[in-house]
Structure 1
């Protein structure tokens, strides 16, 4: 791998939508957040990242830090730089499933085989909702599967990786995170809709919500504005280009590219009932429970976290080869925050909490 020299660049831009003279309170919040981000980028040697925040009916802040291409010093741009969003893809996919639910084409309580008849039956019946909520016992990655460089040509082909494996536990008795479960959800959506998964997502979610910079991460194609991807080499104490991977085996659970501005636009659509009804939003965002009544903190593609002030946020984190992403929203206060980094394994939990504290009304 080529060694990459790290650079820090100043502010690219701050966008205050619709304001000639920024509100002092908004400007104070932006200044506080910018200071947090500047420190974060420097302390963690971040190659490039972007952040966007929606509040009060508009995008109040959108900024890039560092570079999408470190060697050629191409700045990261929150409006156009495409990051691997990892498991935030699950939340995008969940909205597609929610549309099928609203149309009466998908029942989360149905067994998987209702929509995917060829999926092998297990020792216990598993439902669509159990799979989506990680309580079905479907396994996660093993060995070097996360680093796959194989091109998969269909959703069905991707199921071959895990479809014959036994369940980890009786469905409903435990929680175990599984991206492969979301491979199965995409197959369910194909069965329910009668369409291939990617065209369905592109027309029913991305196009309808005007997510013009959200798309599948076709590794074998030249995609304009796609960031380079980095990993941190501890021995060299530097960022280096990440190895080549192909995420076509897991579009639904971790295979999309997006910008932070598209992510907040996606979040905005889930603050009202114009795209999805209140009933649907409540059903899909509500955390599931195991059979003993314990909350998993995870619904149908939506995670829940409580900030230090006791506010409940919905969203998802995403980790991929060369990508670390966070997306979260507060429905009652109308706040959406998204940040994306072009490096694997960047620490995000503390940054998420700090931004949540700053931007909550």
Structure 2
């Protein structure tokens, strides 16, 4: 930690407006090191402050063999569970328009789902307190072309893990069910609703559904780390869990979503407040709202957002409301083991700089 603190101190202490170039340099150093040491194949980062883009850069390779560098505007990554904040915004839109009631039974929207011992609501699904199970075995890496409805076969006959509202169990099947309810309500595919109501209005033109047989321009090759470097990640089909972990995006696009969360540009502040309130279980906070983490970082700064880890993709999406900062960081490999450094050094340093206008 002292190493990075010393690096930061050598740079000039000018005002933020005159020092954006100096700002970028120290925070790039660990990223370049990760590429050089083969911790990550490629990475893109975008930082917004008060709606203004202050950091945006690519590191390493979108395609190692072809030596195609990462471009934060154009390189498209698997964002894994950072898909949930996209789906959450879409659900919030439906709630605002009174198309879905968070506290209504899930069965009101999807009556054909097998009945469980206890009823559960959309709110409980979105907050991971409904009792739906998580992945078994290698279900996280399925490569079958399930539709959302077809994927119910994976878990529809399994019992709830606990009485809804009495515990917390993070999983992506919750959002499979929510996206199915949204399809039933809207009468159109979940992906179309999100495209029309969220992605198009925000100008997120590089946020896509990953179709295995297609290779869109700019898509980063997904890798898995090995002892000697990287290999191609195993093929997967994430379309059935689009809402919980299936989108492709760029760091620039994801930052646009963060700005929408800051500015309440798509959803009313009243509804957004409900989504960004940590849910309680047995009198204790889960530090999770409805589709997003709602907590404080290592330095005590409040944030909302999500970390995503999937086959061939890793993501950080964080919004700091009090600092008016959005951080979007995407990597094209399965868990690169860099989260502690991001949490403890890199992100706090960026926030300290932006809040004070001078390097620490």
Return the TM-score normalized by structure 1: 0.90
Q: Does the CA-based 8 Å contact 1:32-1:358 persist in structure 2?
A: no
Q: C-alpha distance in 2, partners of 1:329/1:348? A: 19
Out of 200, 214, 217, the residue aligned to residue 207 of structure 2 is 214
Is the 1:216–1:255 Cα contact (8 Å) retained in structure 2?
Answer: yes
Shift of 1:24: 4.0
Map of 2:136 onto structure 1: 142
Instruction: Extract unaligned runs of 5+ from structure 1.
Output: 1-20
Aligned twin of 2:23 = 29
Question: Contact 2:39/2:336 (CA < 8 Å) preserved in 1?
Answer: no
Matched, 1:174 2:167: yes
Aligned equivalent of 2:255: 264
Match of 1:15 in 2: none
**How many Å apart are 1:25 and its aligned residue?**
4.6
Q: Secondary structure at the match of 1:271?
A: helix
Partners of 1:41 and 1:338 lie apart in 2 by: 18
CA distance in 1, matches of 2:293, 2:23: 25
> What is the CA deviation profile of residues 219-263 of structure 1, one whole-angstrom value per residue up to 9, with x for unaligned ones?
1212111111110123xx221111111112211101100000001
With normalisation by structure 2, the TM-score equals: 0.90
Moved more, 31-40 or 241-250: 31-40
State the partner residue of 1:341.
331
Q: Distance in 2 between matches of 1:169 and 1:194?
A: 32
Out of 300, 307, 318, the residue aligned to residue 290 of structure 2 is: 300
In the TM superposition, residue 289 of structure 1 has moved relative to its aligned partner by: 0.8
**Structure 2 counterparts to residues 60-209 of structure 1, below 5 A:** 60-152=54-146, 154-209=147-202
- For 1:16, the equivalent position in structure 2 comes to none
User: Is 2:239 aligned against 1:248?
Assistant: yes
Runs of 4+ in 1 over 4 A off after TM superposition: none
Give the alignment partner of residue 314 of structure 2, picking from 320, 324, 341: 324
Provide the residue aligned with 2:4 in structure 1: none
State the secondary structure of the residue aligned to 1:198: helix
Distance 1:53 1:332 in 2: 15
Q: Secondary structure at the match of 1:270?
A: helix
How far apart are residue 22 of structure 1 and its match? 7.3
1:27-59 per-residue CA deviation (whole Å, 9 max, x = no partner) reads: 443222112322333345211111110013211
Which residue pairs with 1:41 in the alignment? 35
List runs of 5+ in structure 2 lacking aligned partners. 1-14, 356-360
Provide the C-alpha distance between the structure 2 equivalents of 1:73 and 1:147, rounded to a whole number of angstroms. 27
User: Does 2:269 align with 1:275?
Assistant: no
In structure 2, C-alpha distance between the alignment counterparts of 1:183 and 1:335, rounded to whole Å: 30
Equivalent residue of 2:176, what SS? helix
Deviation at 1:332, TM superposition (A): 2.3
Alpha carbons of 1:39 and 1:330: their partners in 2 closer, same or farther (altered >3 Å)?
same
Q: Confirm or deny that 1:284 pairs with 2:275.
A: yes
* Structure 2 CA distance for partners of 1:89 and 1:231, relative to 1, 3 Å: same
Shift in Å, 1:350:
2.2
Contact 1:229–1:242, Cα closer than 8 Å, also in 2: yes
Deviation of residue 160 (structure 1)? 1.7
Deviation at 1:348, TM superposition (A): 3.8
Shift of 1:345: 1.2
Q: Choose which of 195, 209, 224 in structure 2 pairs with 1:231.
A: 224
- Cα pair 1:214 1:259 within 8 Å, conserved: yes
Q: CA RMSD in A?
A: 1.5
Does structure 2 retain, via aligned residues, the 8 Å contact 1:263–1:338? yes
